[in-house]
Amino acid sequence: MKDATNTPFAQGYRMPARFDEHARTLVTWPPIEEGVGTDVPGFRNEIEVLVRGISRFEPVTVIADPSDVEEARVRCGDVAEIFEAPVDACWIRDNGPIFVRNDAGNVAGVHFGFNGWGGRAVCEKTTSMPSKIVEHLGMTCFRTDFIGEGGGMSVDGEGTLITTEQNMRNINRYAGMSRKTVEGYLHDYLGIEKVIWLPLGLYEDAATDGHVDNVVEFVAPGKVLVQLAEKSNPNYDLLQENLEILHSTRDAKGRQLDIIAMDVLPYSTEVPGHRLAIPYTNAYVINGAVIAPEVDPKLDDRGFAILQEAYPGREIVPCRSEWQAVGGGGIGCVTQQVPTSKARED
C-alpha cells in the first residue's frame, strides 16, 4: 500500500517534459550482459559516439558497472562524468530513475519498480541502481513498487501523459490492475492529471510490449509527433488508430492536440540477418539539439526535416543505433534527462 502523503505529487512534484531544459543527460555504459542478442563492442561504439554528441550541448553522466568502469572512463571520461554503479542493462530510460520537480524548482528522483520488461531480462542489479544515481545527484528519492518504464510514457510537463494499453496494462507487469489504479499511481508519482490511452505500439516492438516512444512523442505542450507508415507496412492500421484517438482527444488543459505526422518509418539492414525498425520518432531532444537515428540515406533527409519542424531552432545531430535496435531499443531508450532546477513561473 502506498502512503498518499509521502508521494511526489503530495509534496508538490510533477514530471517535466523531455523537451524541457536539462541539467544533464544520463547514459549507461553497456555491460557484458547486453551480449544476449546484440554485439557488445558495436553497442559500445554507438554509445561512445552518442555520449560525445550529447556532450557538445549539455553535461553527461555515464553510469558504468564496476567491471566496466575503467573502459567507460578511457572512452568517455574526457567528455563525461563516469559514475560507478551496478548495471544489468543499458536501457536507463526504463530501469533508471525518473525525475520530478516542484514549484520551487527542487528536483527529486523516483525509483520505480522494474521486472525486466515482463520477466524477459535479468534485473537484480537494478533494484539498487536508480536510488544510487539519485543519491549521487544529491536529490530526494521517492520509491514505489509500481513499474514505471520511461519508454512507456510521453509527458507534456503540464499534466498529460500518453501511453499504450499494450505496455502499461500488460499482464506481465500489471496483472489485474485497472486503468483507474494505473492512473492513480501516475498521478501520485508523476503528477499526471490526464492519461491518453493508445492500444498498441509498433508491430516490431515485442521486446518492450509496445513502448509509446516509438509511436508518439510530445514535442511541446499541446503538440505531438506521431508515427505513421505506408499501407503496405504491418504497422499501418494500428498507427492510423492511434492517429484517430489523438485527433479526438484533449489534454489535461482541455486543448486539442496539434499533430505533426512522421510519415516515414525507416528500417535498417546494416546488421546482417536483421531488418530493424528504427523510428525517427524515438529521437532524443536535448538543450539546443536533437540526437536523431541515422538509418537510411533515402529517408534520413525527410525524417530529419520533420524533426526540425517538430523542434525548431535545434541542431539535428545524427547517430547510428543499429546495435541498440538489435538489443531492443534506440537513442531515446538509452538516455534519460535530468531537468534543471528552476522555479515554476506561473
Grid cell 538489443 in the structure block, residue: 327
Q: How high is the pLDDT of residue 290?
A: 98
The DSSP H or E segment spanning 236 is helix 236-248
* Contact by Cβ (8 Å): 41, 75: no
Q: With 0-12 CB in 10 A as exposed, 13-18 as middle and 19+ as buried, what is 308? A: middle
Q: How high is the pLDDT of residue 238?
A: 98
Hey, what's the torsion of the CAs at 197, 247, 245, 98, to 10 degrees? -20
Which residues are catalytically annotated? 333
* Contact by Cβ (8 Å): 189, 75: no
Show pLDDT as tens, one digit a residue, over the chain (346 residues).
456 678 999 999 999 999 999 999 999 999 987 666 789 999 999 999 999 999 999 999 999 999 999 999 999 999 999 999 999 999 999 999 999 999 999 999 999 999 999 999 989 998 999 999 999 999 999 999 999 999 999 999 999 999 999 999 999 999 999 999 999 999 999 999 999 999 999 999 999 999 999 999 999 999 999 999 999 999 999 999 999 999 999 999 999 999 999 999 999 988 888 889 999 999 999 999 999 999 999 999 999 999 999 999 999 999 999 999 999 999 999 999 999 998 766 5
pTM, rounded to two decimals: 0.96
Backbone angles phi, psi at 282, to 5 degrees: -90, 40
Q: How high is the pLDDT of residue 273?
A: 83
Residue type, 61: T
Angle formed by the axes of helices 40-55 and 69-76, to 10°? 50
Q: How high is the pLDDT of residue 345?
A: 65
